[in-house]
Amino acid sequence: MIDLSNKTALVTGGSRGIGRDIAISLAQAGCNVAVSGRDLDTLKSTTDEIENLGRKALAIRCDVAKENDVAEMFRNFLEVFPVMDILVNNAGITKDGLIVRMKEADWDDVIDTNLKSTFLCCKEAARPMMKARCGKIINITSVVGLIGNAGQANYTASKAGMIGLTKTLAREFASRSINVNAVAPGFIATAMTEKLPDTERLIANIPMARFGKPSDIANAVLFLASPLSDYITGQVLTVDGGLVM
């Protein structure tokens, strides 16, 4: 049983899908949790569930691609919670297309939302975590950041970039007992994968012969957020039913 009683966490993109499950799992383990997204109303169902578990919850409106929004999100968080023990960089988008047809705006949107946001949030988290001389940063990347995927140049570049950033920050922060790791999901059943065509063909390539559930990712995050992983840093934990090995 993982016990995160009285710990505090910020989960970006906590309104639905994987982020929502991560936030609720952390709260079930005893954590007080803030969730962010671009729309405050859609965060309410997550914060209601966290409060029903008897934990403190906070919803923060923030477009993680914008530096000022991220700075304001951290100010809000640290006004309510005394320290930041856990940061989960989960917010992410796709804007797929073959590179010959990919617009510059679609490249920029995906890189800014997935990769620049992780840089901005880690930079903001560095000061309070270094001061506390502890912290857990978990970046939600993707297996396609490891192996590439036709039609996702922007997304795969952003997710591969997150892996490089994870390893660099693991080295920069290790002496302060701050762990920085990444979780690389395979295909997980959420709004993001709902629109995928030909799911039968995709499932045929997964040894476990099914899409994962958001809770499969939340379980991995829980481990990396807990003292059980204190000697693990700079790693990418693949959670994909055996798709990439």
Residue numbers 205-234 binding ligand NAP by CB under 6 A: none
- Does 19 contact ligand NAP by CB under 6 A? yes
User: Is 231 one of the annotated active-site residues of the chain?
Assistant: no
Segment holding 168, helix H or strand E:
helix 153-173
Does the footprint of ligand NAP cover residue 128 (CB under 6 A)? no
Interacting stretch for ligand NAP, rule CB under 6 A, among 86-94, 99-107, 122-130, 163-171? 86-94
44 binding ligand NAP? (CB under 6 A): no
Q: Could you say which of 81, 107, 155, 211 is catalytic?
A: 155
Q: How many residues bind ligand NAP (CB under 6 A)?
A: 30
Which of 4, 8, 9, 15: binder of ligand NAP (CB under 6 A)?
Answer: 15
Does the footprint of ligand NAP cover residue 39 (CB under 6 A)? Answer: yes
Map the chain to HEC letters: CCCCCCCEEEEECCCCHHHHHHHHHHHHCCCEEEEEECCHHHHHHHHHHHHHCCCCEEEEECCCCCHHHHHHHHHHHHHHCCCCCEEEECCCCCCCECHHHCCHHHHHHHHHHHHHHHHHHHHHHHHHHHHHCCEEEEEECCCHHHHCCCCEHHHHHHHHHHHHHHHHHHHHHHHHCEEEEEEEECCECCHHHHCCCCHHHHHHCCCCCCCECHHHHHHHHHHHHCHHHCCCCCCEEEECCCCCC
- Kindly indicate which of the ranges 70-78, 84-92, 172-180, 230-238 contains the residues binding ligand NAP, using the contact rule CB under 6 A: 84-92
Contact status: 140 vs ligand NAP (CB under 6 A): yes
Out of 23, 24, 59, 64, the only residue in the binding site for ligand NAP (CB under 6 A) is 64
| Residue 166 in contact with ligand NAP, rule: CB under 6 A | no
Using CB under 6 A, pick the residue from 187, 218, 224, 237 that binds ligand NAP.
187
- State the catalytic residues: 155
Q: Which residues contact ligand NAP (rule: CB under 6 A)?
A: 12-19, 37-39, 42, 62-65, 90-93, 113, 140, 142, 185, 187-188, 190-193
